[in-house]
Structure 1
Amino acid sequence: MEFPTIDFGWVGNGNLIGMMAVLHVMINHAVAIGGSVLMVSMEYAAFKRGNERLEAYARWLSKWILIITTTAGAMTGVGIWFTTTVILPNAIGSLLRIFHWAWFTEWLVFVSEVVLLLTYFYTWDRWKGEKKRLHLRTGLALCIMSWLTMVIITGILAAQINPGDWVETLSFWSAFLNTTWVPSTLFRTFAAITLGVAVLTPLNRWFVKDPLDRHIVLKLYGKWLVVSVPLMLVSGWWYLKTLPDQAQTLVVWASGMSDFTFAFINVLGLLLMFVLGVMLMDGRTKYPVALTVFTAAFSLLLITEFEIVRENIRKPYVIYNYMYANGVLKTDVERFRKDGALAQATLSPVREVTEANKLQAGEELFRMQCIACHSIDGPRRSRVMTERAKGWSEEALASFIPQMHNIRPVMPPFAGTDEEVKALAAYIHKMVSERNGAE
């Protein structure tokens, strides 16, 4: 309530955050973590065999890992900060206060990662012979730093959904060392390696020409895949069991699939990925193109599904049991219902509801308490008011809003007076009627 509200309109505020987060995670997991692990593994295999062609391929990978992580990876990382800060300033402000030193440490680790990546790439020609081991150690350090960046950020993300007893203790360690952190970190680790294998395997058909080299590379990929897929499944199950009870019940709902479809797609997909790993480990230089394409597509969709589910199962909170998804503190709801939400909004031009400003007040309330997830219209039909409130009368909306959190537990309770409820209902009804061509 202390910050201006920004509405990205048709795109949807929640959609914008989700798209940026998924894109960044894909790049970070598949390239910065998974790609780095496979690249260094490949260099080690080339070093052991004295295979210069294989080393050249690892070097080629290092160029693209450097380019992608320092451009698209860095820009989407900044993009997450930008979108979340302007859309959910209260939530980001709270997380920065709670995890100040963790985020500062993560920044130092990220800088170290970039320095190591630059060092690793630009010393391929200089560190030869006896210094080759130093180059390999630099690569290993790069993998560790890339992974530690994820470890720290995962601790913060995990605390949003399961902060332990932080609400009572307000202790940094209570929030960071939450029960969800370890399984979530393990799941992301093995998912990153799986993603790296899935993305790089199809490239071997074009960039690894020698059959013997291809045999070595694919066997290496197969070993990582056969290990990572089962461990990803186990750590994912462990992660599920550490979630709050309500969050566990929302997992399938958050995916947008039925129970059967959710189980069938995920189990079948992981099984086929494991089968590909076994085939690669067998050292075959020829394998079904459809299977590799499927594995690449499925692995990217899997991490997308994970991010979407993770975001949605927190509902109605953005920080569990502390702050609702719209930035309203759980402890402030009753005060807002008594004194009014508009009275607490520092930058709102409307401080109380009158007949003259009713629609303007409703718009301000919609921006303050709804646009984090909803928009009037947009591409995500399950979230737009033109679909959700279509055919509803103003009176029906006014009756539903105060009870919506009881009817739909994923919705935060409306924090405002009866007059503010009516103003919000009037605004939604007017906008939906206009967009749907009603009188």
Structure 2
Amino acid sequence: MSAAVVTEQDSPGEVDVVDVRDRADVRRQVKLVVVFAIVAALLLWFALDINDPTVKYITGERVTADDRGTELNGLNLVWGCLGISVIALLLAAVNRIPRGVLGTVISILVGIAFFVGFIVWSYADQTTLVIANPLPGTVKLATPLVFGALAGCLCERAGVINIAIEGQFLTGAFFASVFSSMFYSAEMGLVGGILAGVAIASLLAVFAMRYHVNQVVLGVVLIALATGLTSFLLSQIPDDPKIKGYLNEPLILAPMPDANMPILSPVAETLTKIPVLGPTLFNQTLLVYIMYVSVVFVTVLMFQTKWGLRVRSVGEHPKAADTVGIKVNRVRWQAVLLGGVFAGLGGAWFTVGSTGSFDQDASAGNGFIALAAVIMGRWHPVWASLSALFFGFMWTLQSQLAFLGKMPPELLRASPYLATIIAVAGFVGRVRPPAADGEPYTKS
């Protein structure tokens, strides 16, 4: 961004006009140049370090006996990725990368080029290993993060800081396991997860809005409560298989093509046959399909309805909202409880959506990563969901590359958290939360 300023007057009626760039635009250009230069340098190293350029890949998630992979020249692919990054670097150097959608697309292309080059380099010089499609695993692992991000967007857009997503995940996972075990139904596990998530959301709303407790401290306390409560309840479940089967041996949601659901299962089975995207989008459980609908639902609700306008108004300027007749705390209650529904569904993924029985600390800090996705996505449901997918991709990538030996396994295990820190700390730039986020409102 630039501004026109007058520098001097050469003669009567004449002025010199100079374009002066603001500091934010200069910082943006410097950041893009540095990042793209690092990407280009790494891709060049990847290309020079490859000895045997032949790699094998499959479009599915797992290697089968019938499909041992298709060969390609990975070196050519890496050089192509390097070309993309160099072009982007040159555009950044002359400040020709615009803001908005086009600039975002260019950055995404550079990011994709880096990951493609990195994956090819990781699998190069490996004679028996095959590159598997990381996208199905990305969607699976990102599912709870997307639900948590939606919960965070609803709460914080209404002006309530929700640090307690991790606690909602834990209680949702535990009670999803219990409900599924008791009712012999994986779908009832989702109901249990929702009820648990709403219960923690109710505690958040009561103490934040009625008693005006500091919301950051409150969120930490609720996480401690959920951790202690689920650990205690888990310890009370006897080891007797007959009793444990009713409390912590839940049924697991089957992929939709195998779920025997009318209409949906046959359609999903047909769509799964689409190369690459088919297994990624449609060979998933009911919970993933609910996630797709939830992202659309929350986005439309937030930006296309009167209720969504009220939510955003009480999060930005509650006093002004109150003067036009909006019940500020009532709207905040509604947003927090609705967020609890999505956080509970995210918690259910850790049991009925993936592993089955509940283990202590089953959510493993994913609630904090979901909160980071909210910040990285600038409190917008769609961008926050895409950020959650990015973190899910990092998890999938580190699990696939951990056994290749080209990078230290400790660094790979830490990579999702490092990506979270880098993304939130600087890459997304300065972000502005809702103006009244975390501020209790008392009607004067």
Q: Normalised by the shorter chain, which TM-score bucket? A: under 0.3
- TM-score (ref. length: structure 2): 0.27
**Which fold has the larger relative contact order, with Cα–Cα distance below 8 Å and residues 6 or more apart in sequence?**
2
Which one has the bigger helix percentage? 1
- TM-score (ref. length: structure 1): 0.27
